[in-house]
Structure 1
Amino acid sequence: MGIVTLCSFILLPQTTTKKGGFMTKNAYTVSSDLRHSTDPSPTVRWLLEHNASQSAAFLEPKVRQTRTMHRLEHPTLIGALKCIDGRLNLSIMTRVPLGIIQPFRNIGGKFDIGWPYLQTVLSEWFQFAYEKNKDCILFATYHYSKSDCRRGCKGFNYDTEAAKKAAEELRNRIQRIYADVTAIRIGVILVGIETDEDALILHGNNGEILSLANELDTPMPNLVRKIVGLFHCLNEGMLRDLIPLIEGNIKHIKCVRESNRSTIEFDHCECCLGVGRGFDWLHVPNKALLIGGYSFNVGEPIVKAAGIILDNLNQGRILREDGVVLMASALYWENKGLGVEKRLAIERAMSIAEYSLRKIEADPTVRPLIKHLSVIVGEVDMQTRFFKDRTSKFWEHRNFTSA
């Protein structure tokens, strides 16, 4: 699979006008000198090359076989409700193959099961499990840094107890809703993530806590007994399928400790703001802030994430010459439904990009990010994880509707 080339588009400020309280689409135009640039920023090049390589790896026969064997041996579906923070990559932390853990992201890991779009996405996931006769484990997560509270969750203003309480309430609400489902078993687990060592903290149904960072030398049979005692909501098969993630996290924590990684890796260093869905190929820690768009007010996490990236620039944690990127993505499954899912995904991605740009431009606290920003727009085929560039189409549409 060849590497996709993509022009880097930099937005230049112009006089803005408003209609009905919203910025018009001609608030920014693309520099004609850069419109057809063949020299995209290093970050744009890296993202596209990384996607191409990850898609190719995802389709490699040995990798597909590994993923297939894992699913056959451990059929329980596993998902994670988590923050947009680029450090929270559970596939790396647990050493399971890409595509095993389904991520759902929002600022601070804040979710309301009453949000219509979140209901739709989770219902589709549970329906898929029902059709395949698979049980589900869903992580409700929070995160923090043990070395410095300011390296914790900005979405909760670094208040770990508030983040934990919100995740616990989310777990309880989902459990109440699906408690009477008998066709499949749905277990919701409260999980903390300590980002200095990427360590998981498991919270039992009765308030017990098991920090895997404290269990590195515990014999696995003893650790399994502890986990069985924690989660009465999981049946034997679900517990068996959870164990590989536990084993993987313990191995990962050991490697992190042996590496003596620098404190700069503990902090935010993201240079990409991803909005939409279909980003699980981007499994590189601290590279991107990813927003799923589940809430009524998705503009709030977009602005907060833009603020984090702007602060990364101002504090020198990322290089200005590398550039920062807004990446709008929508996912689809080929050969599903009426056969128009790909075209719908393209339209979603373009709308996401337009909305995100307006929100960043309209907020004076993050507007300075615009002059550093490149934009990538496209859709991801979930059967290949390949991101298809539609950025030229986006700008053609934007200029046409702004005329």
Structure 2
Amino acid sequence: MSNDFSHIPDFFREKVEKLFDINRQYSETYLKQLPALEQYKKRHPTQIVIFKCSDGRLLFSRYAQMPLGFLETFRNLGGKFNWGWIGLKESFKSLQRDGYVEYLERKSFQQSEDFLQLQVERQIFLDSLHVSAQLHSGADVDLHLKSEVEFATLVICTYHESRGNNAVRGCKALEFDIEQGIKNAKGFRMSIEKAYQGSRHKVFAIVFGMETDYEFFVLHGEKGQKRYLETYAEDVSDGKLFELICELYPSMPLQMKLDLLPVLRGNIRHGNEIRRANRPNEEMTHGEWILGICKSEPAESITVPNTAVLVGLLNPVLSKVIKTGLDVVIPNAEKGVILFTAACHDEDETESSARQEAKYYSRQGREVAAKHCPDMVRFMYPLPLLVDRKTKLFKLIESRKKAN
């Protein structure tokens, strides 16, 4: 069934139709790449979870050139998170459980010969890095893999900044305060570290900065070091990058170090591509025209930068976060704002349940807007959606017409 956008004004309709086209393309690519994603997960068993700001420019998978569906993401405006939020804690633990079950299923289907061959290949690669590390830095790094691959979670806590003009292009939700962003990310990293100290679950947390002009990462080490990936040549060797990981994160498990390597490699490649593109300033500055209120998964196909401020559902005081999101979007909204709300459905979550969730947050968004910016409410155009968890496809929830 085709989606009816007749309630969307003409000046937005083309953009919304394009958003659905992007969603269809994402779905096709995602489904086509599923076998490759499974292979990637076999070779890189570490679960990687990103905590980041809701800013529409921060597409971590794009920055790192990771396979679609590999990274897990949590969003909140300003990159502010609190382990005391019950919704956040339960969502993270659920994500871990799902990842562990998936890991066990993948392992059970993998032939023992394939597993041994993979371990041999990884050890050969590590042996070559060991030689490189000794030649370049003299470091004596233990690079012997355990015979048994263990499930583990790497958490990357992020903040963002603009090196060119942070007062205009930085984090608007934090009033462009870089130091506050770094403080938030480091504080949350410590919260995770304390929460899992002594736990049987292997969780390791680190801090990355996301520079939005050229989209390079800034790496913060365990001992306060700070390294900028923009300073590394595009053809930097794996050995040199592995040395960097060992220098910054000496207590990180070896398997995680190995699985973090492609993230750094992808970002160096991506950042250099962006730098060569010589983008105009307008593309680096806030220009979002969608306010999204939903979990991260329903919106993962919005892969065009600077399109949506996606308010997560983690903060118990959601009205406060929606208000901040409106403050970010409204200056860009000369003709109005699309209010995007969405929920996923599958065999465990019915369409009816997902429909109620999406419509509830659509109402809440309008209620907060009515109090915070009443003149704007009539220029907010609701776009409540159902998202098929398997295909990632959008379906518009049409309003039911009242009977005469």
User: Please, what TM-score do these two structures have when normalized by structure 1?
Assistant: 0.82
Question: Who is 1:68 aligned against?
Answer: 38
Aligned mates of 2:376, 2:251 — CA distance in 1: 46
User: Which position in structure 1 is the counterpart of 2:261?
Assistant: 243
Q: Deviations over 1:212-236 (max 9, x none)?
A: 1112254331121111221234211
Cα displacement (A) at 1:101: 1.1
Aligned partner of 1:77 in structure 2 is 47
The residue that corresponds to 1:216 in the other structure is 233
Q: Distance in 1 between matches of 2:398 and 2:186?
A: 40
Please, which runs of 5 or more residues in structure 1 have no aligned partner?
Answer: 11-33, 315-319
Is residue 2:320 matched to residue 1:313? no
Counterparts of 2:351 and 2:49, CA distance in 1: 24
Question: Which amino acid counterpart does residue 78 of structure 1 have in structure 2?
Answer: I
Alignment partner of 1:287 is 2:259: no
Match of 1:20 in 2: none
Given the alignment of the two structures, is residue 199 of structure 1 paired with residue 198 of structure 2, yes or no? no
> For residues 321-360 of structure 1, what are the structure 2 equivalents within 5 Å?
324-332=337-345, 334-336=346-348, 340-360=349-369
Unaligned runs of 5+ residues in structure 2 are: 105-150
Residue 183 of structure 2 is aligned with which of 148, 161, 165? 165
SS in 1 for 2:301: coil
- Contact 1:140 1:190 survives alignment (8 Å): yes
CA contact (8 A) 1:98 1:281 kept: no
Relative distance call for 1:242 and 1:324 in structure 2 (3 A) is same
SS in 2 for 1:273: strand
CA distance in 1, matches of 2:197, 2:233: 34
Q: Structure 2 vs 1, CA of residues 391 and 307 (structure 1 numbering), >3 Å: closer, same or farther?
A: farther
TM value normalised by structure 2: 0.82
Separation in 2 of the partners of 1:233 and 1:115?
A: 28
User: Which string of whole-angstrom CA distances, capped at 9 and with x for unpartnered residues, describes residues 74-125 of structure 1?
Assistant: 1211111111100000111111111111111111011111111111111101
- Shift of residue 368 of structure 1? 3.4
Answer whether contact 2:173 2:328 (CA < 8 A) is retained.
Answer: no
For residues 198 and 6 of structure 2, the distance between their equivalents in structure 1, rounded to whole angstroms, comes to 51
Higher helix share: 2
User: Per-residue deviation at 1:45?
Assistant: 1.4
Q: What is the aligned partner in structure 2 of residue 371 from structure 1? A: 378
Distance in 1 of aligned mates of 2:351 and 2:233: 45
CA positional deviation for 1:341: 4.2
Residues 1:175 and 1:359: Cα distance change in structure 2 (over 3 Å): same
Q: How far does residue 194 in structure 1 lie from its aligned partner after superposition?
A: 0.7
- Show the 5 A alignment for 1:225-304: 225-277=243-295, 278-304=298-324
1:380 to 381, 387, 398: 387
The residue number in structure 2 matching 1:13 is: none
Q: Show CA shifts across 1:160-196 (max 9, x none).
A: 00110011000000111012122x4211111110100
CA contact (8 A) 2:291 2:339 kept: yes
Aligned identity (percent) is 27
The match for 2:371 is: 362
**Contact 2:330–2:337 (8 Å) recurs in 1:** no
CA RMSD of aligned residues (A): 2.2
Q: Give the distance between the partners of 2:312 and 2:7, measured in 1 at CA.
A: 23
Evaluate the alpha carbon distance shift between residue 8 and residue 269 of structure 1 in structure 2; reply closer, same or farther with a 3 A threshold.
farther
* Cα displacement (A) at 1:309: 2.0
Q: 1:8·1:375 contact (CA, 8 Å) conserved in 2?
A: no
